[in-house]
Amino acid sequence: MTTITADTAKTTAADTGFIAIPEKTARLLATAGGILTVISCFLSWTWTAAFPGDLTVYGYPGGLQWLVLIGGALTTVFGLASYGIKGLRWLTPAGADAALKLAALAAFATAWYTIITITVTLGGVVNLEPGGYIVAVVTLLALTGALALPFERPALDAPDPDDTPWEQRKHHLGNTWTTVKAALATDTPRPARTLPAWAEILLIAAVLAVTLGVFTYGITTPYQELFLGFLITAGFGFAALNKAGLLARFTALTAKHRNVALVGAFAAAAAFPLTQTDDQYATLGVNILIFATVALGLNIVVGLTGLLDLGYVAFLGVGAYTAALVSGSPNSPFGVHLPFWAAILLGAAASMVFGVLIGAPTLRLRGDYLAIVTLGFGEIFRISMNNLDGVSGPDLTNGPNGIAGVPNVDLFGFDFGANHTIAGFTVGRFANYFLLMLLVTLIVIMVFRRSAESRIGRAWVAIREDETAAEAMGINGFRVKLVAFALGATLAGLAGAVQAHVNYTVTPDQYVFANAVPPNSAFLLAAVVLGGMGTISGPLVGGALLFMIPNKLQFLGEYQLLVFGIALVILMRLRPEGLIPNRRNQLELRADLEAPTVLGKTGV
């Protein structure tokens, strides 16, 4: 296999800046603007505490000022790193100028959003204090300087998409630490300095802790202005870190210490309910986890196998209804109360059976025809649950009223509906279910991971890429797709069984194709595409965002879906491969990325 080595690493031609300012002046302007932005956050921006967050205090930031402070700090760090300061160069393995532009844009957008909101809410610019004018000017200056900078982006050697996962990880690790360093070197290329294993593990733990802090901050924002500011800062900040190459570097570390990273991520997520003093945000957290887990199950069908399923939420409903019917609900006609472990297994098995029953006669269809059939199945399930009310059909599901009174889980003597004290922390009902659902999520991740790296997983990818060619090579396309359909349905059934106990009630209107409140099939599909098809972390991140953001945007009323849809269109236009892309999909969807320089396994 022929690859580009560190000695032959190259950079693309420098992009020119948007504004005609000498480079040295622009760099100084951007860096100084970042420093002044940080200082301005310690000034008063308005004279009255009527605006949320109390921005009237000198010497201490409050509310949205913290977000502008973070944007200013990133601008300062990337600005200093662009001068080639040795201690900061490690933070920008892919170059500092592109990251500097986005960091300055984060500070500018958040600051001007705050100033405009203060002006509109309080009735004029007269309500601004000097600090408000100062932060508006200095963020504009920083953005002007950043946009005037040219930058060079190193063209890194990409791994062969046909490599096995082990070969890709090995290839990626070698290029991350060697090729990037050589590409950025101004003199003779020198080998990258690696960290000790214990330092890399500590770095992974620190990044996971910061991620937990960011997620907790976002989910617990108490007012709408702060949440919108958080979205602006987090969006541009994430993009800046990605342009700097830090996300690629962290990905390399997690690939090197894969099991450590998985355990650390699980521990960080488990710590979330311990940070909550009531069930308000723990409720949102457990529902996010349910939605993200179902999206990961759908990723097997859509991301790995390439089957467009528009009725996937019905499998979530099958698991929820099955668990509700056998868990002792007074509305259940069966009158049985199985233990939770039996109910969740039964819910998963019922979803698997329905997956096989629906998939067997339909999976010989392809493309849009399969999508229409799955959409019809989703609607048939919802209508059937409405009609099984004893009037239009057998008395099984209580019709549109659903199955209410699903009891709390009592697993091996542990009542999930009661408060418990763990290590001095009081864990409430929804926090208990969050931890339970986290365990289910871990099981789903392990199943997805082992399946994707197995022989059947490679067959799924082959079917996705070209079903005709895969069948010509001896793959039984129908059987492989049926396994994917059944496995995806099973994982959705696991989450549905937990959802029935979390919500107490299961009703047909929870399982529709599209509405303003997830989970539904449209949002689940969007979560997979937005997060990154074929990856593990992509649907989890996409599902978390697509559940949290609509819940936080409820103040927009009837314009909620309009604003949300516009944001999705813009995001997918800028990053069609998703937030955490699969490398193969990224190369297919991004024309600006260089394809891997390989001749194939046989060297032909």
Find tokens 């289910």 and name the residue.
440
The letter for the amino acid at 583 is R
Last residue of a domain, one of 553, 574, 589: 553
CATH of the domain at 461: 1.10.3470
Structure tokens at 509: 């209107």
Beta bridge partners of 421: 426
531 domain-assigned: yes
Domain count, the chain: 2
pLDDT along the chain (604 residues), means of 10: 38 54 88 94 91 90 93 93 80 86 94 94 90 94 90 47 46 43 39 69 86 86 90 91 86 82 84 76 87 91 88 91 90 86 93 90 82 88 87 82 88 81 75 88 90 89 88 88 92 92 88 77 87 86 85 77 79 78 64 46 34
How far apart (Å, rounded) are the C-alpha atoms in residues 371 and 307?
8
Last residue of a domain, one of 507, 523, 553: 553
Nearest to 276 by CA among 212, 228, 225, 233: 212
pLDDT at position 586, please? 62
How far apart (Å, rounded) are the C-alpha atoms in residues 303 and 488?
11
CA distance readout (Å), 60 to 38, 39, 69, 112 = 11, 10, 11, 19
355 domain-assigned: yes
Cβ atoms of residues 135 and 45 within 8 Å: yes
274 domain-assigned: no
Buried residues in 127-145 as b, exposed as e (16+ CB within 10 A): bbbebbebbbebbbbbbbb
577 domain-assigned: no
Cβ atoms of residues 162 and 465 within 8 Å: no
pLDDT at position 39, please? 95
The whole-model pTM stands at 0.79
172 domain-assigned: no
Cβ atoms of residues 106 and 149 within 8 Å: no
Cβ atoms of residues 306 and 504 within 8 Å: no
Cβ atoms of residues 49 and 69 within 8 Å: no
User: Does residue 402 sit in the same domain as residue 454?
Assistant: yes
Last residue of a domain, one of 259, 288, 311: 259
pLDDT at position 583, please? 67
User: Does residue 288 sit in the same domain as residue 239?
Assistant: no
User: Does residue 427 sit in the same domain as residue 504?
Assistant: yes
User: Does residue 403 sit in the same domain as residue 287?
Assistant: yes
Nearest to 542 by CA among 560, 529, 561: 529
Q: Which domain holds residue 71?
A: 17-149+195-259
User: Does residue 286 sit in the same domain as residue 233?
Assistant: no
290 domain-assigned: yes
pLDDT at position 206, please? 87
423 domain-assigned: yes
516 domain-assigned: yes
pLDDT at position 601, please? 37
User: Does residue 133 sit in the same domain as residue 25?
Assistant: yes
pLDDT at position 584, please? 65
